[in-house]
Amino acid sequence: MTKRNKAGATNTKAGVKKRTKPKQKTQATKTQRGTFSKFIFRFTVLCFAFIFAIFSGYLIYLDDQITGTFKGRLWSIPARVYAQPLELYAGAQIQADELALELGRLGYLRGVPTHPGSYSRAFTAEGQKFDIHLRAFQFADGYREAINISLLISSAQIKSLHAAANNTNTALIRLEAPVIGSIFPSHGEDRIILAPADVPELLTQSLIAVEDHNFLTHKGFDPVGILRAAWVNLRAGEIKQGGSTLTQQLVKSYFLNNQRTLSRKLKELLMAIILDARFTKEALLNAYINEIYIGQDGSRAVHGFGLGAQYYFNKPVSELAAHEVALLITIIRGPSYYNPRRNPSRALERRNRVLGQMLEAGIIAPAVHNQSVRKALNKTSIARKGGGYYPAFMDLVRQKLSLEYDLKTLSSHGYKIFTTLDPRVQEAAQQAVEKTLSALEQRRQLPPGELQAALVVSNTQTGELQAVVGGREAGFQGFNRAINASRPIGSLIKPVVYLTALETQNFNLLSPLNDAPLPKLPDQAKHWSPQNFDGRVNGQVPLVRAMADSLNLATAHLGLKLGVQEVGSRFAQLTQQKTKKRYPSFMLGAVEMSPMQVSELYSVFASGGFHSPLRTVTEVIDETGKPLKRYALKIQQLVAADNIIQLNTLLKIVMTHGTGKSSKFRNAGIAGKTGTSDQSRDSWFVSFDDKRLSTVWIGYDDNRASKLTGSSGALKVWDAFATKVKVSSLGIPASFSLETVTVDYQSGLRAEQSCSDQIIIVPVPKGTYIYPHPGCTKTLQDLSNRVKQWFQK
């Protein structure tokens, strides 16, 4: 019997026979296992090699992309648009408070003027003394270094002005031209580029201490910083620290989008390592300071600390105090979350925490820290909106520049655009519009907030636009009524009719006109039957009264006598437009014009008969200060001197005796003209003195009746504006071919104060005989004496 033991051997009677091993099977198994292991090893090596090759290729690609982009990084530097600088000189008319306001507009701080951007103001026996440390500035005509000046103001006039360094009198000093806007690219990024030397150490040290205190030693990312931030945030139960280095933040802003994915985070990490390896820490930090997003101003994205300082504090970055630096560093953590206007308490808390970190790092002293944390967020000074204040004017600037420059050039080459805007006049105009419209709506029980207006102010001699208001809401970037609201101008057309009459030499200011209903003409299909505004008929009136009282019937008779097409042709010449076929109603204002176009027309009268296109831009220079374009003054005489003298006299009498006599400034020697369209849909007023021409329009956007005449509406806006600016009397020169006569306003007959309560003095061609007023004894006696002398001859 054969048995097997546990070892597998066979037991027999002869003894135990040893088991025979299956040698061939074991060797085959080993061979298979070895082959498989080698395959796995080789496959793994190949996979790692493949991955390494792909990863290396990807790194090479990233390196090439990042290095090329970063080295060749040319920021799109938008063109800066500047307003007119305030000129200071001995004899200049200015209140001390006005100068202080302008210095505040430019971000100057009152105190000891030890550095640019500061000033002191002291009251002395002689007046108010200002010591000002002016900033350096690149004007269109040259660069001015930072200088100290002193001036004395007394009785609203600069009495003395001198440079503090040598105490010598200075003829003229300009404050910096204020920035009023930028022309930035379609993607909306705006920035002011800072060189490393332009960045104060307070900013760079604080930025590193708060955002990335291992910045100078890490290799693009900071594992310790990531762990520390995670621990701090875990303990606080909220996000108090970020783990991203400044280099990683720069990569996100430069190259990546805002997607929160693992692959994007890994890419950010790799790119940060490459950047850190390829470029110096100084270059990376300077790029960060210029690139980082720091706020939103409408469609404009505010990038970099240079523009951030101007946007939030209205001052250069070099003048920022510790609490201001801390606020900017606060904002970069979340420009919307820490917006100091929308979330002031949140921004204040974070700012003070940043100040604490600056103290811990030894960047600021304890005394500075204690003073800084007590500083409140001054909401009135935060976010000076620059061009956002003057969108109507900026529309005109863009229109002008677009004729010679493409948008890409304007939005990327750092040009400086110098314009004609006067911020003091602009703000006075905007305030006058806002307050007067609200007052009119309340007084006349009109729907609140719906009445609209436009106001255009220009220099009478140069055509330089000083202010443009496109609507009642300041800073609203919408429909610009100053340019685009083309509305019937009503009686504003009448000076053209009367000028045409004077130019025929068949009429003078005292010529009798018939203020009576018009007869129906044989060739008229439909009878044109205008009426006076008050519905009355005045019979025979002198030309001066017909104009001043804006009599429709008298004007219609005069215009028909001159010829509709003749008046239309003269209108086309004065407005630089093509001649069109006109109808009789044209002579009473049935023609549509925008406030800008009306200003162009009246600028001929205000300048003494010369046409000069209204100007917004004076000069353009490049970022180095090299002049690129100077917009010279162009002048063309369109009206002879004698005729403009007579016409402007008419317009001055409009204010003293006619439809403008309700003005507060009726006796200030200004010229003016009211206008009202049919059914009082449009209220107009134009005025000018020796310095400024102003055009005001009031109405509704939907063209419904406003129930306001030129006198009761637009004139009130101008009165409010004139109260805020200086008005000077319009001087009318003498002429060898004209003589002045004193007459009765109502009749146009020669008179004097003793026999008429409405005496006016008007110029007429020499030798013009003027009938005496029957109630004036002295005038009749003079006539009798002249008759006797004639017979004796």
Q: pLDDT digits over 82-126, tens only?
A: 999 999 999 999 999 999 999 998 989 999 999 999 999 999 999
Q: Copy the structure tokens of residue 645.
A: 């003298």
CA angle, 694 then 695 then 699, to 5°: 145
pLDDT for the residue 557:
96
The least confident of 134-148, 177-191, 285-299, 488-502 is 177-191
Contact criterion met (CB below 8 Å) for 742 and 752:
yes
Mean of the pLDDT values across residues 186-194? 79
pLDDT digits (tens, 9 = 90+) for 649-687: 999 999 999 999 999 999 999 999 999 999 999 999 999
Better pLDDT: 226 or 367: 367
The catalytic residue among 491, 663, 677, 694 is 491
- The answer to whether residue 385 scores a pLDDT higher than 50 is no
CA distance 101 to 108: 10
The region that residue 159 occupies, defined by phi over 0 for left and psi between -120 and 50 for alpha, beta otherwise, is alpha
Contact criterion met (CB below 8 Å) for 90 and 169:
yes
Give 246-301 as a DSSP string: HHHHHHHHHT--S---HHHHHHHHHHHHHHHHHS-HHHHHHHHHHH-EEEEETTEE
CA distance 771 to 544: 15
pLDDT for the residue 30:
63
pLDDT for the residue 189:
81
pLDDT for the residue 112:
92
The least confident of 27-41, 340-354, 357-371, 666-680 is 27-41
- The answer to whether residue 599 scores a pLDDT higher than 80 is yes
188, 401, 413 from 617: Cα distances, Å: 23, 8, 18
pLDDT for the residue 43:
72
Q: Copy the structure tokens of residue 577.
A: 């437009």
Mean of the pLDDT values across residues 740-750? 95
Contact criterion met (CB below 8 Å) for 454 and 595:
yes
- The answer to whether residue 563 scores a pLDDT higher than 90 is yes
The least confident of 247-256, 376-385, 544-553, 760-769 is 376-385
Mean of the pLDDT values across residues 606-618? 95
CA angle, 758 then 658 then 432, to 5°: 130
- The answer to whether residue 209 scores a pLDDT higher than 60 is yes
Q: Copy the structure tokens of residue 332.
A: 């970069």
Better pLDDT: 50 or 456: 456
pLDDT for the residue 386:
40
Q: Facing residues of 453 across strands?
A: 698
Residue 388: what are its φ and ψ, rounded to 5°? -60, -20
Mean of the pLDDT values across residues 5-19? 48
CA distance 541 to 557: 12
Contact criterion met (CB below 8 Å) for 412 and 184:
no
pLDDT for the residue 187:
66
Contact criterion met (CB below 8 Å) for 452 and 698:
yes
pLDDT for the residue 792:
57
The overall average pLDDT reported for the chain is: 86
CA distance 763 to 650: 10
CA angle, 410 then 414 then 416, to 5°: 85
pLDDT for the residue 458:
98
Confidence tier at 14 by pLDDT (50, 70, 90): very low
Q: How many helices (H) and strands (E) does the chain have?
A: 23, 34
Query: Sign of dihedral through CA atoms 406, 411, 414, 419?
Result: positive
- The answer to whether residue 167 scores a pLDDT higher than 90 is no
Mean of the pLDDT values across residues 443-460? 96
- The answer to whether residue 211 scores a pLDDT higher than 60 is yes
Mean of the pLDDT values across residues 238-258? 69
- The pairing of beta strand 118-123 with beta strand 128-134: antiparallel
Confidence tier at 415 by pLDDT (50, 70, 90): very high
Candidates 572, 548, 565; CA nearest to 494 is: 548
CA distance 740 to 763: 4
Single-letter residue type at 36: F
Contact criterion met (CB below 8 Å) for 96 and 120:
no
Give 76-130 as a DSSP string: -BPEEEE-PPPEE-TT-B--HHHHHHHHHHTT-EES---STTEEEEEE-SSSEEE
Query: Sign of dihedral through CA atoms 14, 15, 19, 20?
Result: negative
pLDDT digits (tens, 9 = 90+) for 310-347: 889 988 999 999 999 999 999 998 999 999 988 999 99
pLDDT for the residue 778:
63
For residue 226, give the 3-state DSSP assignment. Answer: helix
pLDDT for the residue 22:
53
Note if 619 is an active site residue.
Answer: no
- Indicate the helix (H) or strand (E) that contains 64: helix 23-71
pLDDT for the residue 390:
86
For residue 228, give the 3-state DSSP assignment. Answer: helix
Note if 694 is an active site residue.
Answer: no
Contact criterion met (CB below 8 Å) for 392 and 468:
yes
The least confident of 51-65, 75-89, 324-338, 612-626 is 51-65
Mean pLDDT is highest, among 85-94, 165-174, 374-383, for 85-94
Q: Which residues contact 171 (CB under 8 A, 6 or more apart)?
A: 89
Q: Give percent above pLDDT 70 in the chain.
A: 83
Alpha-carbon radius of gyration of the chain = 40
Q: Which residues contact 83 (CB under 8 A, 6 or more apart)?
A: 177, 178, 179, 180, 419, 421, 422, 423, 426
- The answer to whether residue 783 scores a pLDDT higher than 80 is no
CA distance 55 to 437: 68
Confidence tier at 236 by pLDDT (50, 70, 90): low
CA distance 708 to 683: 6
Candidates 173, 154, 156; CA nearest to 164 is: 173
- The answer to whether residue 241 scores a pLDDT higher than 60 is no
Give 362-388 as a DSSP string: TSS-HHHHHHHHT----TTTS---GGG
- The answer to whether residue 5 scores a pLDDT higher than 60 is no
Position of tokens 């054969």? 2
pLDDT for the residue 491:
97
- The answer to whether residue 133 scores a pLDDT higher than 50 is yes
Better pLDDT: 160 or 753: 160
CA distance 460 to 609: 11
Residue 610: what are its φ and ψ, rounded to 5°? -110, 140
- The answer to whether residue 17 scores a pLDDT higher than 60 is no
The catalytic residue among 102, 176, 189, 211 is 211
Q: Which residues contact 426 (CB under 8 A, 6 or more apart)?
A: 83, 389, 390, 393, 457, 466, 467, 468, 469
- The answer to whether residue 374 scores a pLDDT higher than 60 is yes
- The answer to whether residue 52 scores a pLDDT higher than 90 is no
pLDDT for the residue 523:
64
pLDDT for the residue 381:
47
Contact criterion met (CB below 8 Å) for 158 and 92:
yes
